[in-house]
A and B are shown apart, each in its own frame.
Chain A
Amino acid sequence: GQQVMQIPQYQHVQEGEDFTTYCNSSTTLSNIQWYKQRPGGHPVFLIQLVKSGEVKKQKRLTFQFGEAKKNSSLHITATQTTDVGTYFCAGSGGSNYKLTFGKGTLLTVNP
C-alpha cells in the first residue's frame, strides 16, 4: 500500500533559525496536504498542493511539491515560538479522498 515517509522525526531550533521537513511517497500522489498539530491538540489544515512542481507560500511558510509528485517539503523561515508543534504531511493517491499521513516532524523552538 501507499507509504509516506517524513523526516526528520524531531527538530530543535533556536528562535530565528530556519526549519525544513521533508516527505517522500512510495507512489505518485494526486495531491499532498500539510497539517500542524500543537501539543495536546488536533491536526489543523495548512495547505494542499496539487500540481507538479507547485510552490505555495503562507507568510514564513513555503510548501513545495516535487515534479514527480512523490515528494514535498515545508520550509519555515525565521522560526518563532508559536511555530512549535508537529507538522504532518498527508498524501492522497486517488479519488477516494483517503489520506496517508507521514509520521510527522516535531518542531521545538528555543526562545
Chain B
Amino acid sequence: GAVVSQHPSWVICKSGTSVKIECRSLDFQATTMFWYRQFPKQSLMLMATSNEGSKATYEQGVEKDKFLINHASLTLSTLTVTSAHPEDSSFYICSASSSGGSYGYTFGSGTRLTVV
C-alpha cells in the first residue's frame, strides 16, 4: 500500500530558528501533498496544499512567509517553519494520495515541534 514517510518525528528548537520537515511518498508519486497542523486533542487544520513544480496554496490565515513549502519533486514536499516561536509548537502532519484521493489519503507519522 501507499506509504508516506515524514521526518523528523519530533524536534525541539530555540525561538528564532527555522525547522524543516520532510514528507516523502515512498512507493508512489504525489503531485499534490497536504500539510496539516493538529493541536492536542483537536482536529486537523489544513495549512496548505503543496503542488509539485508550482507554488503552494495556503489556507486563509496561514502565513506563507512563515510556513515555507517546497515541492521540488514528485515524491518530496518540505515544510519549513521560519523564525519559530513557542506558539508554533504543534503536531505537523502531511498527507498524500496515490489515487488522487479516490481511495483516501495516507498520512505521514507526523512531526511534533516544540519551540523553547
Question: Which residue numbers of A lie inside 8 Å of B, CB to CB?
Answer: 1, 33, 35, 41-48, 88, 92, 96-104, 106
Question: Which residue numbers of B lie inside 8 Å of A, CB to CB?
Answer: 32, 34, 41-46, 49, 60, 93, 95, 97, 100-110
The reply to whether A42 and B108 form a contact with Cβ atoms under 8 Å apart is yes
A101 to B44, CA, bound (A): 6
A47 CB to closest chain B CB (Å) equals 8
Q: Classify the interface of chain B: helix, strand, loop or mixed.
A: loop
A88 / chain B contacts, CB cutoff of 8 Å: 43-44
24 A–B pairs (Cβ distance < 8 Å), ordered by A: A1-B60, A33-B104, A33-B105, A42-B108, A42-B109, A42-B110, A43-B93, A43-B107, A44-B107, A45-B106, A48-B104, A88-B44, A97-B100, A98-B34, A98-B49, A99-B105, A100-B46, A101-B43, A101-B44, A101-B46, A103-B43, A104-B42, A104-B43, A106-B41
Known: A42-B108, A42-B109. A92 touches B101 (CB 8 A): yes
A92 to B104, CA, bound (A): 11
Among A1, A100, A101, find the residue whose CB has the most chain B CB atoms closer than 10 A: A101
A48 to B104, CA, bound (A): 7
A35 / chain B contacts, CB cutoff of 8 Å: 104, 107
B93 / chain A contacts, CB cutoff of 8 Å: 42-43
B105 / chain A contacts, CB cutoff of 8 Å: 33, 45, 99
